[in-house]
Structure 1
Amino acid sequence: MSNTAQQRVRALKVDNFMRLRTLDIQFDGHTMTLSGRNEQGKSTVLNSIVWALGGGAAGKKFPNPIHNGETKATVEVTLDDFVVTRTASVDRKTSTLTVTSRDGSQKYASPQKLLDALIGKLSFDPLEFSRMNDKDQLAVLLDCVDLGFDLQELEADRKSTFEERTFVNREVKSLDAQVQGIDAPDEAPALVDVGVLMQELTAAQRAYADVDSAIRDVSSWEMKLIDVQTALDRARQVSVDLLAARDDHRDPDEIQEQIAGSTEANKAGELIRQKAIFSDQLKAKTAEADELSNKIKALDKKKSDALAKAEMPIDGLGLDENGVTFQGQPLSQASSAGLTKVSVAMAISLNPNLRLAYIRDGSLLDSENMKIIQDMAEACDFMVLIEVVDESGEVGIVIEDGMVATDPEW
């Protein structure tokens, strides 16, 4: 017999477990209603199954399993292929467990190991899922769906990439503003060395001053022509020589005009240089932002592809970064019927081997939702126990003072 074969609970016998005194129930059909007044032991029916099958973890949940005043508690759970019996005694710190084949022909040497392979979310209540917040619903759904990767790690990677891209895009905007803010000409004039021009200006001014001085000398000597003819001839010769030398220099006014224009020329060249630098940086940052955007798209595609391939507990169920969705909308916005369908599908998915779920607040269900639960339980060959508060004694199996008060009504 395979340890992982699907099992349904077929019968339950309880003696002196917590609030229950004695109980013997046959689980027929696919839904069963447990009714009665509050504090009569309805919830303890499921707790007894949890205790019998759950081992050490369940033992911690129910540290005092024996009915008040008794010395021993026994719970026997009959499954499709096994009979599970757990007993607690006041003289023992731990309970004892036996698992046999249903026909009694085989007793299993490692009973808890066998049961551990069956137990999923044994105490999962579909209505409990419907009341969870978005984050908890998402965590439960991820337990049911194999995406092939850790969704939280993918979301963290996407978040860090998105934040990095946001930072890079700020730099892109800043650099773009700096590039657009520089009103530089398309082509820069040749750079002018002002120092060289100043040296040339000094030399030219000196040359022109020398010529002016020589001309004054000529005039002076001409006035004294009679007395200083020889000196005049010499001065004329000097004047001729200086005039020749002056031809090697540009007009000082022209040089000064060029110096005046050099500031604007050099400024234009510097603006072009700055714009080129910022343009290169802008190009690099834009490429970096594009690369990060492509990474985000790849992460989103990986996620969407995985979700598209994932086998969801029910058609129309999905998830996004905010939580669980149903038919493309947040689950919180689903109708009451839609929420019930999703919740029951989750309960079935979370208990793939032990086909049992339990609804503790069955009194909240209307006839439409009750019909949905019954149909889904039958379609999936699942047993759903429904606990309701009822004092009429006419609904389902009535639990009163820890015992079955009436015969089951199906």
Structure 2
Amino acid sequence: MSVKIAKLEIENVKRVKAVKVEPTTSGLTIIGGNNEQGKSSILDSIAWGLGGNRYRPSQPARDGSAVPPYLHIVLSNGLIVERKGKNSDLKVIDPNGEKAGQQLLDSFVEELAIDLPKFMQSTNKEKAAILLRIIGVGDRLQQLEKAEQEVYNRRHAIGQIADQKAKFAKEQLFFPDAPKEPISASELIQQQQAILARNGENQRKRQQQAQIQAAYDNQSREIERIKAMLLEAESKFAQLGGDLYTANMDAIDLQDESTAELEANIQQIDEINRKVRANLDKDKAETDASDYRQQYEVLTGEINAVRQQKSELLENADLPLEGLSVEEGELVYMGKCWDNMSGSQQLKVSTAIVRKLKPQCGFILLDKLEQMDMATLRDFGAWLEQEGLQAIATRVSTGEECSIIIEDGYVAGQEGVMIQQPPGEIDPGEGWGTAPSPSWKAGEF
């Protein structure tokens, strides 16, 4: 069962002269009034009474008062907390009349419930860390975020390499007339030598043809000179005629091959190979860029999988407020980061998280509630009642939404009353002597 504030009496603390409040059990108790009337002094008094001397105001006694500060807080669990006397010493009495101290109060009073600005002024990372700790997923989420960051860093590096490769490939010149592979000078020389050898064979055949032609001519002259040997010469002549025919036929089809192209290639081999290497570099860069892009897409899938695990982890967690989550290590409410939330949203988120920190603390102190309009205020009050949470808040206003109005250190309509009675005087009781009863009902506006 959460502990709440049942009754509150304050006298001569900061701007408060004498105030008695019975906050509504659940929902909003709004302490209204103009500036510098003592509204915030009531919250400071509660923080001092329940939070200990670390919340003691630097000047707790009201200016001009001869009577020391007095605090009397009755809690729903029956504990009575008092600070009174010259030194404002703490006195905690349990329902059985036994004395207790600050350690007992600390066991159920959440520090941030009486010092909400401490939470609201913390960094975004600190707020998120508190939420993750109280819903019990901080360690697992940290592991997932670490894994996501590692994959993200790898993907980032791969993406940079892919971009560099693509840029390099784009900047490379391409020579469509260059061969696919670099050429070798020795291979060209071998081809040249083979052609020269074939040309040499052609030259030998030409020489042979010339020799046969000369022999034929000699034999023709020999026929004229040696008539007597005509038959023998004619026979030999006929044979030579056949040989000549064959030689002529061979000579007609002969054609020498040109080595000009090979000689030019030999002379330009360095330039050709430069173009080939450039084309190969461009092809490799394009292939590498494509490979790295594929790796990038694979890593993107891994990142999305980790993010899905994070999302499912938070969706299944017992979050204190619908629409509240953590993204990239920061609080997010209704899709908005802390610095983009409205002031009222920040108050609601802070209240929900602080309540979750120590559920046995059933109250929270809220200052400057004027940043909420009436509709938001009603919704906030309804949410508090639904959560069974008691909120004691201040608001610069004297409207009907206020549970009580503070004027010059008193509850309006109860001016001049005293809580601590001088010796010999009778306590006027709940009616506060002749002071009129307030027309408001706590928690309604």
- TM-score normalised over the length of structure 1: 0.66
Q: 1:65 is matched with which residue: 60, 67, 72?
A: 60
* Alignment-mate amino acid for residue 194 of structure 1: A
| In structure 1, C-alpha distance between the alignment counterparts of 2:341 and 2:258, rounded to whole Å | 86
Q: CA deviation at 1:17?
A: 1.9
Q: CA deviation at 1:50?
A: 0.5
Q: Provide, for residues 295-333 of structure 1, a one-character-per-residue CA deviation record: whole Å limited to 9, x for no partner.
A: 42233123212221122223233343475232x567888
| In structure 2, C-alpha distance between the alignment counterparts of 1:320 and 1:179, rounded to whole Å | 38
Cα distance change on mapping 1:71 and 1:143 into 2, 3 Å: farther
Tell me what 1:232 maps to: none
Tell me what 1:244 maps to: none
Q: 2:262 is matched with which residue: 251, 254, 258?
A: 258
| In structure 2, C-alpha distance between the alignment counterparts of 1:79 and 1:274, rounded to whole Å | 81
**Secondary structure, aligned partner of 1:174:** helix
Q: Is the Cα–Cα contact under 8 Å of residues 110 and 357 in structure 2 kept in the other structure? A: no
1:5-404 paired onto structure 2 within 5 Å: 6-30=2-26, 31-59=28-56, 62-68=57-63, 69-70=65-66, 72-81=68-77, 82-87=79-84, 89=86, 96-104=89-97, 106-108=98-100, 111-112=102-103, 114-123=105-114, 145-149=135-139, 158=148, 161-162=151-152, 164-176=154-166, 178=168, 192-195=183-186, 197-198=188-189, 254-261=258-265, 263=269, 270=277, 274=281, 277-278=284-285, 281-282=288-289, 285-286=292-293, 288-321=295-328, 324-326=332-334, 345-346=352-353, 348-349=355-356, 352-363=359-370, 365-390=372-397, 396-404=403-411
Work out the number of aligned pairs and report it: 361
Select the structure of larger CA radius of gyration: 2
Q: CA deviation at 1:21?
A: 3.0
Tell me what 1:225 maps to: none
Q: CA deviation at 1:10?
A: 0.7
After TM superposition, the structure 1 stretch with the greater mean CA deviation from structure 2, 114-123 or 333-342, is: 333-342
Q: Percent identity?
A: 22
- TM-score normalised over the length of structure 2: 0.61
Q: Is the Cα–Cα contact under 8 Å of residues 6 and 25 in structure 2 kept in the other structure? A: no
| In structure 1, C-alpha distance between the alignment counterparts of 2:274 and 2:371, rounded to whole Å | 81
**Secondary structure, aligned partner of 2:138:** coil
Tell me what 1:231 maps to: none
Q: Provide, for residues 36-73 of structure 1, a one-character-per-residue CA deviation record: whole Å limited to 9, x for no partner.
A: 343221211111110112124313xx222223344632
Q: CA deviation at 1:379?
A: 2.1
Q: Provide, for residues 135-194 of structure 1, a one-character-per-residue CA deviation record: whole Å limited to 9, x for no partner.
A: 897677557644333868866775675455344223213324555767588x97786542
| In structure 1, C-alpha distance between the alignment counterparts of 2:184 and 2:95, rounded to whole Å | 106
Cα distance change on mapping 1:11 and 1:255 into 2, 3 Å: same
**Secondary structure, aligned partner of 1:121:** helix
> Unmatched 5+ residue regions in structure 1?
223-250
| In structure 1, C-alpha distance between the alignment counterparts of 2:372 and 2:43, rounded to whole Å | 19
After TM superposition, the structure 1 stretch with the greater mean CA deviation from structure 2, 340-349 or 31-40, is: 340-349
Q: Provide, for residues 335-386 of structure 1, a one-character-per-residue CA deviation record: whole Å limited to 9, x for no partner.
A: 9998886676456446633222344344555543343233223222222224
Q: Is the Cα–Cα contact under 8 Å of residues 341 and 373 in structure 1 kept in the other structure? A: yes
> Unmatched 5+ residue regions in structure 2?
215-254, 415-436
